[in-house]
């Protein structure tokens, strides 16, 4: 099986720096690593600053793929990304190099490794009716029609409640049925060498705050101005990215710069907290976790190097 490295964790955890360090470590051993993005914000070319996409300087000459690959007007689903990632992994491996997946979007990673549920297209009339329901009514309906799924969801989880309800109403089967028939995953066809970064939380939150402050000073405002000028639908993922709403409100005079900064920092910390919880509990238990900032590539990826016969 061909090797694939994976570096995952919450925002501001140092994933991108470590991915580059791994690629440079491979280069020192006569091999080549190519970094492949697995972050749902960094896929959009419109969010170079607000997604903290690596700069040319930060890439240090290492090839990066699927960064800024999507126009913000075209939403990138987990299935879209997984299909593109499979193509890039095949391309990198065919060239004799090592794909290094890096990102913080757990759904992307899980879809790539485990596959996607083959849910048939949802009847548009069913979708429209479900999405028109107030969340409490939709949740009550889900409790009656798919009680197992309802028990797993928060009563306030509007998006997941609607998705589960539209699936059972449109297909006649609960979402769990379709998820049990996942297809297209590559997990069993590769040798995966994962690492999950889970730095100490307060240190992580301080990084989140500092990074958002830098974004405001280094082009985030101009980035949002450009987005707003395109008049894109507000429901698009690119328009819901952290920082867009806060900076847009500042540009409209609804927030001061200080308030936009504080709200953007809080939103970033909240997102990092959700990611932290996901990566702490969802990946398989054997996946190594690291809380340290002192990255020693030889130690962290010793098994990868041994697998490839690199010393």
Q: What is the pLDDT of residues 123-181, one digit of tens each?
A: 999 999 998 999 999 999 999 999 999 999 999 888 889 999 999 999 999 999 987 77
Q: Of 179, 210, 225, which residue constitutes the final position of a domain?
A: 179
Residues 135 and 81 in one domain: no
- Do 289 and 233 share a structural domain? yes
The residues, ordered by sequence, that sit 6+ positions from 249 with a Cβ below 8 Å of its Cβ are 255, 260, 263
Is 92 found in the same domain as 160? no
Whether 130 and 66 share a structural domain: no
68: left (phi over 0), alpha (psi -120 to 50) or beta: left
Q: Indicate if 175 and 188 belong to the same structural domain.
A: no
Q: How far apart are CA 280 and CA 276, in angstroms?
A: 6
Question: Residue 278 pLDDT more than 90?
Answer: yes
Same domain for 238 and 137?
Answer: no
Confidence band of 311 (pLDDT split at 50, 70, 90): confident
Which CATH number does the domain housing residue 299 bear? 3.40.50.300
Distance, CA of 172 to chain centre: 31
Q: Which token pair is 171?
A: 């297909």
110 shares its domain with 39: yes
> Do residues 129 and 209 both lie within one domain?
no
Q: Domain boundary residue among 135, 160, 179?
A: 179
- The overall average pLDDT reported for the chain is 95
> Are 86 and 129 members of one domain?
no
Q: Are residues 40 and 143 part of one domain?
A: no
Q: pLDDT tens digit string along 58-84?
A: 999 999 999 999 999 999 999 999 999
- For the chain, the domain total comes to 2
Q: Which domain holds residue 157?
A: 124-179
Of 179, 196, 224, which closes a domain? 179
Looking at the fold, whether 99 and 129 belong to one and the same domain comes out as: no
pLDDT (0 to 100) of residue 27: 97
Same-domain status, 279 and 196:
yes
């Amino acid at each position: 099986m061909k090797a694939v490295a994976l570096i995952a964790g919450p925002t501001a955890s140092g994933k991108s720096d470590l991915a580059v360090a791994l690629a440079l470590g491979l280069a020192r051993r006569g091999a080549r690593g190519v970094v492949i993005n697995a972050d749902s914000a960094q896929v959009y070319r419109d969010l170079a600053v607000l997604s903290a996409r690596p700069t040319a300087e930060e890439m240090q000459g290492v090839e990066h793929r699927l960064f800024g690959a999507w126009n913000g007007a075209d939403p990138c689903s987990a299935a879209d990304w997984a299909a593109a990632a499979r193509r890039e992994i095949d391309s990198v491996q065919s060239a004799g190099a090592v794909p290094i997946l890096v990102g913080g979007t757990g759904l992307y990673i899980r879809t790539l490794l485990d596959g996607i549920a083959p849910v048939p297209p949802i009847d548009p009339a069913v979708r429209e009716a479900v999405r028109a329901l107030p969340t409490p009514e939709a949740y009550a309906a889900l409790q009656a029609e798919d009680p197992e799924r309802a028990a797993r969801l928060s009563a306030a989880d509007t998006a997941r409640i609607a998705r589960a309800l539209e699936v059972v109403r449109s297909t006649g089967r609960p979402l769990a049925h379709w998820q049990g028939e996942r297809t297209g995953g590559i997990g069993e066809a590769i040798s995966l060498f994962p690492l999950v970064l889970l730095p100490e939380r307060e240190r992580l939150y301080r990084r989140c705050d500092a990074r958002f402050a830098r974004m405001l000073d280094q082009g985030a405002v101009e980035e949002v101005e450009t987005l707003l000028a395109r008049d894109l639908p507000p429901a698009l993922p690119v328009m819901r990215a952290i920082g867009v709403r806060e900076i847009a409100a500042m540009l409209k005079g609804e927030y001061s710069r200080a308030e936009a900064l504080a709200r953007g920092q809080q939103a970033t910390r909240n997102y990092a907290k959700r990611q932290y919880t996901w990566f702490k509990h969802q990946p398989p238990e054997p996946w190594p976790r690291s809380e340290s900032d002192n990255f020693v590539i030889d130690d962290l990826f010793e098994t990868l190097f041994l697998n490839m016969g690199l010393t």
